[in-house]
Structure 1
Amino acid sequence: MPVVDIVQRSEKWFAWRKEGITASMLPVIMGLSPYQTPYQLWAELVGLKEPDDLSKNYHVQRGVEQEPEAREAVENEYGKPYMPVCVEADHEHLFRASLDGLYKLGSDKEVLEIKCPCEKIYNEILAMKGQAPTFQMYAAQVQWQLNCSGANTGRLYFYLRGKRPISTLIRRNDSFIEKAEKAAIDFWKHVQSNHPPKMIEGRDKVVYDTPISNQDNSWLERVEQYKQKSARHAELVRQSDAVKADLKQLESYFTEQIPSDVQTFKKDGIRATRVDKTGNVDYQSLLAEIEDTMNVVIPPELIEKHRNKGSTYFRVTIQKESSNQADVPIEQYQPKVEAEQPKQEATPLSVTPAEQFVPSSLLSGVENPTELEEAAPITAPIKPLAPGNFFEKSAQNHYF
């Protein structure tokens, strides 16, 4: 497990991530991410799509802010120091992971993955258990971290300020890792060959490359021509709008000279004619009133029968080039000191064993999940429950 001497969220870190398969990419590659598809990830890696800038996203900022709190909470609970490091797998340098924490004492190793979800996702995990897409995604991410670090266990820690943390111990699953490695290598071949992976129907609605753009040598030349002519057209439209505004002002001057009882005015080459135009019929309101007054319902099929044939067209626009901010500032966590309050009796919680959080098609040996209770908000400093409270039978081994 080579440890890479690099600062997370630095420019070098972003560059290092692009040179291999990271833990955050793995759920996307395996189709477990509800936020991104393999095709979209491929387009980013080959430079056809700008990565989404999440540095100003409220949920991302909240997660970055609360992560030190979560780290302090998990270290205090389990008495283990977790060091944030970047690692590469011994057997394949393409397999990489940026760990929120790594505990190592002799041959004992454990990775830590901290998630600070919004309340909606937190409640979704409590309600849906193993069916929660976000938990499936994060559990697969931890498995990749185990693969890269050589550790046998990982702790997936959900922390939301004001809620009781959810801590799940995930054990290494070599069967899942084998499938993940195969999918990762196959995806990386698509990146290296610039050949896109299969698109997902209903999700991949934007195409970032076409065969003609790779074969037609005049593609880039035509792109530049379009940009130049589009800019020229925009300038002409601006000038035309200014001229139209001047004409409108002059026309108003002329029409003000027409007496109210005269329809046409003609003088010195200017002819102004009053035109009376009837207003359009609001057919939506008309149909609604007919239904109301006559107590009838006009079926949608009848309306569609009288609809004119539609048309299809392409709207071509020019995207402005954007620069990504490599460094995301991390707000320093300052613990709040509050007056001591009487401790509330903790209600035992049970968390679904980790093996429930991966589709059955990927893993075997899945047991029935246990019920998970929603924790009530607390005002006293939060202290996670003991591991035994998170599992129905914590003394037994639970496998991812």
Structure 2
Amino acid sequence: MGVSTMHIVDIAQRTPEWHIWRREGISATSCAVIMGENPDKTPLELWKELVGIVEPADLSVIPQVRRGVKFEPMALQAFEDKYGKIALPFCAESTAYPFIRASFDGVLDDKSPVEIKNLSETNHLEVLQLREHSTPFKLYRWQVLHQMIVSGARRGYLWFWSPKHEPCCLIVDWDDLLVRRIIQAEELFWGLVMRGVPPEANPMRDLIPLDRLNLAVWRPLASARRAKESKIAELKAQLKVLTKEAKDLEAEIFPLLGEFRRADALGVKVTSYEVAGTVDWKGVAHELKGVIPLDVIARHQTGSSMATRFSVDASYDESQAKPEPLPRIRQKVEAISEAVEEPSQFFGTFWF
């Protein structure tokens, strides 16, 4: 199974026109999201971006992303110097599946994509030690497989480059089974985008859809909770003042101990003691030119537990709240003759 040709798109990467073009299809970075392999974004969150409900995050403000863009030409040159092959950057679409799109960091003469990754020092060292078993490789190989579907290549390369450490080139080979999964999942997902139909929400990761929340019960409880948050904020402000006043008094009391470390008089007890510093074990590993394997950390980690965090906007006024934008519908449902499939059978699941 393969795609023999691609349609090259004459568009400059990271321009406004490029962002528009990317939103009219599925980019390589979206592949891991759709396959349920991206820990930072779910298919539903990606769908909301593509149908215009939410604005995509501006990744250009992230220091690591800006750093990667800055070093990308150097990294590409380093690849060419090491392997003697020229990799040309451009944008393209699959001819068989035009909605499957890719913005290549570089493509070799045989159409093999070269994807450059300039990671944080911690992640780069993990790649050097664990290679194909590293978390970055397991995440970014989906991106390269997507690019191979566009270019028709049987092999792709992940080029992990660092200005401080040795680079690492890892190979991603064509896998018929994985490619079929990707194409079927992306085709199904794009159909949902076209029709404005959301994929199934993941109860473990997504916000519960409002139509599945009992708002009649939630509304009065939320109102009461916001009122409590206002009172908490008021009392916290008072506590902050009282705490400062108490610290000021303690600063006057402590010198009265002289050379002693403890005192207990007139209802005030003072005890001075030494606190041992914590050990930055990851820092130790870096200094020893290594990475603590995740399985070693897991063996010495206590059992996990569930925690719940509430974030309350005390100033929220439902009467002033704007309704959620409607999804952009590119294709009317009645215009589609094929049966609508259940989306959850592909997203983030192995169906073979």
Q: Do they superpose with TM above 0.5? A: yes
- CA shift for structure 1 position 128: 4.9
| Cα displacement string for residues 14-62 of structure 1 (whole angstroms, at most 9, x for unaligned residues) | 1111111111111100011112111110111111111111211111111
Name whichever structure is richer in helix by fraction.
2
Equivalent residues in 2 for 1:279-358, closer than 5 Å: 316=316
- CA shift for structure 1 position 314: 7.6
Q: TM-score, normalised by structure 2?
A: 0.58
Q: Secondary structure at the match of 1:142?
A: helix
Aligned counterpart, 1:157: 159
C-alpha distance in 2 between matches for 1:74 and 1:38? 33
Q: What amino acid sits opposite 1:112 in the alignment?
A: V
Q: Secondary structure at the match of 2:106?
A: strand
Q: TM-score, normalised by structure 1?
A: 0.51
C-alpha distance in 2 between matches for 1:122 and 1:319? 44
Any conservation in 1 of the 2:161–2:167 contact (CA below 8 Å)? Answer: yes
C-alpha distance in 2 between matches for 1:130 and 1:80? 23
User: Root-mean-square deviation (CA), in Å?
Assistant: 3.1
Equivalent residues in 2 for 1:88-127, closer than 5 Å: 88-104=93-109, 108-127=110-129
Change (3 A) 1:115 1:24: same
* Aligned partner of 2:18 among 7, 13, 21: 13
Aligned counterpart, 1:34: 39
Any conservation in 1 of the 2:201–2:208 contact (CA below 8 Å)? Answer: no
Q: What amino acid sits opposite 1:22 in the alignment?
A: S
C-alpha distance in 1 between matches for 2:102 and 2:170? 19
C-alpha distance in 2 between matches for 1:135 and 1:312? 34
- CA shift for structure 1 position 130: 4.4
Change (3 A) 1:201 1:5: same
Q: What amino acid sits opposite 1:170 in the alignment?
A: V
Equivalent residues in 2 for 1:1-400, closer than 5 Å: 1-104=6-109, 108-205=110-207, 207=209, 210=211, 316=316
Q: Any stretches of 5+ residues in structure 2 without a counterpart? A: 1-5, 214-266, 271-309, 323-347
Any conservation in 2 of the 1:6–1:86 contact (CA below 8 Å)? Answer: yes
C-alpha distance in 1 between matches for 2:18 and 2:81? 29
Change (3 A) 1:61 1:93: same
Q: What amino acid sits opposite 2:62 in the alignment?
A: N
C-alpha distance in 2 between matches for 1:181 and 1:63? 29
C-alpha distance in 1 between matches for 2:129 and 2:349? 19
- CA shift for structure 1 position 157: 0.2
- CA shift for structure 1 position 155: 1.2
| Cα displacement string for residues 193-215 of structure 1 (whole angstroms, at most 9, x for unaligned residues) | 222212223322375x6589xxx
Count of matched residue positions in the alignment of Structure 1 and Structure 2:
226
Change (3 A) 1:117 1:47: same
Q: Which has the larger radius of gyration?
A: 1
Any conservation in 1 of the 2:91–2:104 contact (CA below 8 Å)? Answer: yes
Change (3 A) 1:313 1:97: closer
Q: Secondary structure at the match of 2:95?
A: coil
C-alpha distance in 1 between matches for 2:126 and 2:146? 23
| Cα displacement string for residues 137-194 of structure 1 (whole angstroms, at most 9, x for unaligned residues) | 2101101100001112211100111100010122211221110011101111221222
- CA shift for structure 1 position 127: 4.8
- CA shift for structure 1 position 124: 3.1
Change (3 A) 1:99 1:47: same
C-alpha distance in 1 between matches for 2:211 and 2:130? 40
- CA shift for structure 1 position 84: 0.5
- Identity percentage over the alignment? 36
Q: What amino acid sits opposite 1:199 in the alignment?
A: A
Change (3 A) 1:362 1:118: farther
Change (3 A) 1:64 1:53: same
C-alpha distance in 1 between matches for 2:195 and 2:313? 29
Change (3 A) 1:49 1:69: same
Q: Any stretches of 5+ residues in structure 1 without a counterpart? A: 213-285, 290-310, 321-358, 364-400
Change (3 A) 1:50 1:204: same
C-alpha distance in 2 between matches for 1:128 and 1:35? 22
